[in-house]
Amino acid sequence: MLEIQNLAMRFGGLLAVDGVSLDVQEREIHSIIGPNGAGKTTVFNCMSGFYKPSGGKIIFQGKEIQGKPDYKISRMGMVRTFQHVRLFTQMSVVENLLVAQHRHLNTNLLAGLVKTPNYRERERKSLDRAAYWLERIGMLDQANVDAGNLSYGQQRRLEIARCMVTKPQLLMLDEPAAGLNPAETLELNQLIVSLKEDYSVSVVLIEHDMNLVMDISDRITVINQGRPLASGTPQEVRANKDVIKAYLGEA
Amino acid sequence: MATSNVRHALFCAIVTIVISYPILGLNLEAEGINIVLTGTDATTIVAIACAALIVFLFQLFRDSVMGKLGAVSDLNPLTGRKPMEQDKRAKLESWVLTGLVVVALFWPFFSSRGAVDLATLVLIYVILALGLNVVVGLAGLLDLGYVAFYAVGAYTFALLSQYYGISFWMALPLGALLAGLFGLLLGFPVLRLRGDYLAIVTLGFGEIIRILLNNWTNVTGGPNGIGGIPDPTLFGMEFGRRVKEEGNTSFHETFGIAYSGEHKVIFLYLIALVLAIITALIIRRLMKMPVGRAWEALREDEIAARSLGLSRTAVKLSAFTIGAFFAGFAGTIFASKQGFISPESFVFLESAIILAIVVLGGMGSQIGVILAAIAVTILPELAREFSEYRMLIFGAAMVLMMIWRPQGLVPMRRLHITLKTQE
C-alpha cells in the first residue's frame, strides 16, 4: 500500500537520506532501524509531509504524495507519532482525541452555534469513539485529566490512540518505546500487534529496542548513514553480516 | 555579593538622577525674546534626591523586599482552597452573570447621562476585548494591529451613511462583515509568521489602515474625519428632537413623552449591551465547538495539530476573521455613539489598550477580560485629576500584575468537555 522509491533528502551540503526504498504491504509491521543519526526520522518526516523530499517517489495507495502538505497526507490515512511526545498538554485527554477527529466532525460554524441534529450526532459519535479507544488503551479513568498530568507511559499510549481515532490505514510510530519500562514496553508490543490484527492497520515503526523490533516486525529495513543497508524478515536481517557490523554488534 | 549589590544600587540611583534632573530640575523660560535655562526651587531638587535615595535603598535590599512581596500572596486566605467542581462552578457563574445582566438592563434608567455614556464605551471595549481574546488568548496569535478592524467597522458605517444614507441597522452587519473580510485578507500573508514576527507585521497593518484613512482625503475626509453619522433608530423611530428623514416618526412623540436627550444615550447603551452579550455567548459557544478546540490545539502544538489533519490556514484564518468580525461590530457602535470619527480614534495606543485588557483579564478567560475592560475604561475616568500620570499608573499596574498574577485577574479555566462514563 505504501511504496518509497529512491528517496533522497538533502539539507544544504548534507545528504541525510540517499536512495532509500521500501514497501509496506497491507496489515504489515515494517520496522526501520539503524544507528543514531542514520536518517530514520528524516525518512518519516518526508513520508508525513514535514519535509519536501529532494528526490524520489512516495506512493501511497497508488497516488504520489511526496511534497504534499502534512495535513493532506494525514487526511489520506497516514498518521504519525513523534519521537518526543507531542500532546496538547493543557487540554484534557478526551479533547486531545476530539481534536484528532476534527475532520469527522461538523465544523460548520452555524451548525455548531444552533446545534443542529447533525452536529450533535457527529459530536456524540466522536465522543463514543474517543471512549472506545480510551478503554482499549486502559485509560478510561483518565478521560477528563489534563494530558500534561499523565505519566510518560500513558502519554505515549494516548498519542497512539490519538492517531487511531483518525481512522488511519497506515500508522507511523517514531520510537514509541523510548523511555518506557519493560512492563510498559510489553503492553506496547501487544497494542501494536493488535492494531495490525484487529484493526487492519499497517505500521511503520522506528525503534531502538531490538527485542520489540525482532518480536513484532514482519519485515525490517536497515538504514546506515542515510543509505539502505539491508532489508528482509527479522531472521534475514539478524543474519546479515553488514547489519551486525554496523549496528547490532558482534553479540 | 554585597559589593556588587552596592555597586548596582549606586548605578540605579545615578540613572534616576540623570533621567529625572533634566526633566524636572531644569526649566526653559522665555524672557523677552530669549529663552533662559533656570534651575527649579529647592523642593524639586530635594524630591529628586529623595527619589534617588529610595531607588538606592530599594535596589540594595531588593532581594529581601521582593521576597516579602512574593510572600504576600500567602496571606490570601483563598490560596489553599481547592477549585470548585466544573459543574458547580458553571452553574454559579451563569447565575451571577444572569443577575449582572438584569442589573445592567435596568441600571441606566436611574443614573446620569454621563455614566450611561461611559458605560456604553465600556461595553464597546468589552466587545473589542472579547474579539481580540479569540485571536490572542485562544489561537495564540499576537495581534498588535487589532484596532484596524475596529476602524474598518466604524468607517464602513460612516462612509456608507455619508454616501448612500445607510442606516445603523444596515451598517451593523455590513461593518462586521467587511471587518471580517479584512481580517481574512490580512490573515493570509501572516499565516507563516509566529510570535514576534507576527506582532510586528500586524502592527504594520494597523498603521497602514490608519495612515490610509488619514491620507485618502477625498473619500475619508482625512484628518478632518467624518461627521453627521446618524443615530440608531428603533423600528423607524428617531431619537432626535426633530425627525431628520421623511417617513420616520420620533420616539418621544410616538409615546407621548417629553423629549429628552437621555433616551438616545440609553438606547445606544442597550444596543451595546445586547451586542456585548451576544458576542460573549457566541464566543463561549465557539470555544466548545470543533473550531475552538482547533484554535487551542494549534496554539499548543502546531506540528502535532497539523499531523492530525488540521489545516493551519483554515484554523488561523478563522480566528483572525472571527476576531475582526466582532471588532467591526464595536466599530459601528462607536461611530454611532460619537457621531463623528477621525483616524485619531484608531491609533496604536488603542490596540495596546485592548491587548492590555486581554492580558490583565487573563488570556482566554471571558469573565476576566470583561472585568478588565470595565476596570481599564472606568478607572482613568474616576481619576481624572491624575490624567497626566495615566500611562504611568497603567504601566505600574501592568508591572505589578506580571509580578503577582502573571496569569491575569481571572485566569482562564478551560471549559472542558467531560466524558461521562456509563454508570
A177 and A69 together in one domain: yes
Sort strands A2-11 and A14-24 into parallel, antiparallel or unpaired.
Answer: antiparallel
- Say yes or no: A79 and A95 in one domain: no
Q: Residue B31: which residues within 8 A CB-CB, separation 6 or more? A: none
Q: Which residue has the cell 484493526?
A: A199
- The predicted model gives B235-256 an average pLDDT of 71
A61 and A10 within one domain: yes
Report the pLDDT averaged over residues B351-357: 91
The length of chain B, given as a count of residues = 423
> What's the pLDDT tens digit per position in B388-416?
777 777 788 778 887 887 787 777 766 66
Assess if residue B88 is contained within a domain.
Answer: no
Nearest to B301 among A88, A106, A144 (CB): A88
Question: Do residues B167 and B60 share a domain?
Answer: no
Q: What are the grid coordinates assigned to B36, written together?
A: 533662559
| Position A46 in a domain | yes
CA-to-CA distance for B129 and B302, rounded, in angstroms?
25
For residues A144-154, average pLDDT: 90
What pLDDT sits at residue A251?
A: 45
Q: What's the 3-state SS for B103-161?
A: HHHHHHHHCCHHHHHHHHHHHHHHHHHHHHHHHHHHCCCCCCCCHHHHHHHHHHHHHHH
Q: Which of residues 41-60 of A touch B (CB under 8 A)?
A: 48, 50
Q: Select, from the ranges A214-223, B72-81, B192-201, the one with the highest average predicted confidence (pLDDT).
A: A214-223
pLDDT at B421 over 60: no
In a domain? residue B409: no
What's the total number of domains in chain A? Answer: 2
| Euclidean distance between CA atoms A116 and A106, whole angstroms | 10
> What are the beta bridge partners of residue A173?
A205
- On whether both B112 and B24 belong to a single domain, the answer is no
Domain CATH for A81: 3.40.50.300
pLDDT number for residue A225: 86
Crossing angle of helices A93-100 and B290-300, in 10° steps, is 100
B-chain residues near A88 (CB < 8 A): 296-297, 300-301, 304-305
- Single out the residue of B422, B302, B333 nearest to residue B123, CA to CA: B333
- Same domain, yes or no, for A46 and A93? no
Q: Is residue B411 part of a domain?
A: no
In a domain, A104, yes or no: yes
Least reliable range by pLDDT among A48-57, A156-165, B73-82, B328-337: B73-82
Residue B179 domain flag: yes
Residue contact B296–A88, C-beta within 8 A: yes
The answer to whether residue B414 is domain-embedded is: no
Q: Are residues A183 and A62 in the same domain?
A: yes
> Residue A50's domain spans which residues?
2-86+168-248
pLDDT in tens, B383-393: 777 777 777 77
Give the mutation candidate from A91, A96, A99 for the B interface (greatest B CB count, under 10 A): A99
pLDDT of residue B398: 79
- Strand A202-206 and strand A170-174: pairing? parallel
Q: Are A89 and B408 in contact (CB under 8 A)?
A: no
Residue B65 scores a pLDDT above 80? no
Q: Is the domain of A133 the same as that of A190?
A: no
Residue in B308, B310, B419 closest to A130 by CB: B419
pLDDT at B173: 93
Q: Evaluate whether residue B343 is within a structural domain.
A: yes
Please name the amino acid found at residue A37: G
| pTM of the predicted structure, to 2 decimals | 0.83
- For residue A212, is it within any domain? yes
Residue of B128, B107, B101, B95 whose CA lies nearest to B373: B128
Question: DSSP label at B81?
Answer: P
pLDDT for position A158: 93
Q: Which domain holds residue B50?
A: 2-67
- DSSP letter string, B226-288: B--PPPP-BTTEE-SSS--STT-EEHHHHTT----THHHHHHHHHHHHHHHHHHHHHHHHHHH
Regarding whether B116 and B51 lie in a shared domain, the answer is: no
Q: Give the C-alpha separation, A215 to A193, whole Å.
A: 10
> Total domain count for chain B?
2
- Residue A224 dihedral angles phi and psi, to the nearest 5°: -135, 125
Give the model's pLDDT for residue A93: 92
Structural domain includes residue A160: no
At residue B423, the pLDDT reads: 39
Q: Could you tell me if B87 lies within 8 Å of chain A, comparing CB atoms?
A: no
Does B140 lie in the same domain as B249?
yes
Which among B136, B107, B131, B132 is positioned nearest to B120, based on CA atoms? B107
Which residues in chain B touch residue A109, judged by CB atoms under 8 angstroms apart? Answer: 286, 289, 291, 318
Residue A69 falls inside a structural domain = yes
Residues 6+ apart with CB under 8 A from B200: B144
Mean pLDDT (chain A) is 89
B150 and B45 within one domain: no
pLDDT at residue A247 in the model: 67
pLDDT range class, residue B70, cuts 50, 70, 90: low
| Residue carrying the nine cell digits 493543557 | A90
**Whether A216 contacts A189, CB under 8 Å:** yes
Asked if the C-beta of A76 comes within 8 angstroms of chain B's C-beta atoms, the answer is no
Is residue B284 located within the same domain as residue B337? yes
A75 inside 8 A of chain B by CB: yes
Q: Is A115 within a domain?
A: yes
Q: Nearest CA of chain A to the CA of B301: how many Å? A: 6
A50 and A6 both lie in a single domain: yes
Indicate whether B241 and B384 sit together in one domain. yes
Evaluate whether residue B86 is within a structural domain.
no
Least confident of A172-186, B19-33, B171-185, B271-285: B19-33
Chain A residues closer than 8 Å to B417 by CB: 92, 94-95, 98, 127
Q: Are residues B135 and B240 in the same domain?
A: yes
Range with the poorest average pLDDT among A56-65, A114-123, B409-418 = B409-418
Q: Are residues A68 and A26 in the same domain?
A: yes
- Residue B128 domain-assigned (yes or no): yes
Predicted confidence (pLDDT) at residue B368 exceeds the cutoff of 90: no
Rounded to a whole number of angstroms, the CA Rg of chain A reads 19
A101 and A176, same domain (yes or no): no
Higher pLDDT, B352 or B64: B352
pLDDT band at B378 (very low <50, low <70, confident <90, very high): confident
Cβ pair B293:A91 closer than 8 A: yes
Assess if residue A214 is contained within a domain. Answer: yes
Q: Which residue among A149, A179, A202 closes a domain?
A: A149
Number of H helices and E strands in chain B, helices first, is 17, 4
CA distance readout (Å), B228 to B77, B156, B178, B225: 54, 14, 21, 10
pLDDT digits (tens, 9 = 90+) for B208-231: 999 999 999 888 888 888 888 888
* Pair B235, B296 in one domain: yes
What type of residue sits at position B106?
Answer: F
Instruction: Give per-residue pLDDT as tens, B51-63.
Output: 888 888 888 887 7
Task: Please check whether residues B151 and B222 belong to one and the same domain.
Answer: yes
Q: Based on the fold, state whether residues B60 and B166 are members of the same structural domain.
A: no
Cβ–Cβ gap A107/B290 under 8 Å: yes
Residue A179 included in any domain:
yes
Range with lowest mean pLDDT among A75-89, A159-173, B42-56: B42-56
**Are residue B12 and residue B105 in the same domain, yes or no?**
no
List pLDDT tens digits, range B129-139: 999 999 998 99
> What is each CA distance from B150 to B16, B20, B276, in whole angstroms?
39, 38, 15
Residue of chain A whose Cα is closest to the Cα of B303: A86
Looking at the fold, whether A224 and A179 belong to one and the same domain comes out as: yes
Q: Which of A56-70, B101-115, B319-333 is least confident?
A: B101-115
- How far, in Å, are B24, B74, B200 from residue B61 at the CA level? 27, 21, 38
Residues A218 and A103 both lie in one domain: no
* Average pLDDT of chain B to the nearest whole number: 84
Stretch (H or E) spanning A228: strand A227-232
> Do residue A66 and residue A29 come from a single domain?
yes
pLDDT by residue (tens digit) across A97-106? 999 998 888 8
Q: Does the beta-carbon distance from A71 to B306 stay under 8 Å?
A: yes
Would the CB atoms of B421 and A143 count as touching at under 8 Å? yes
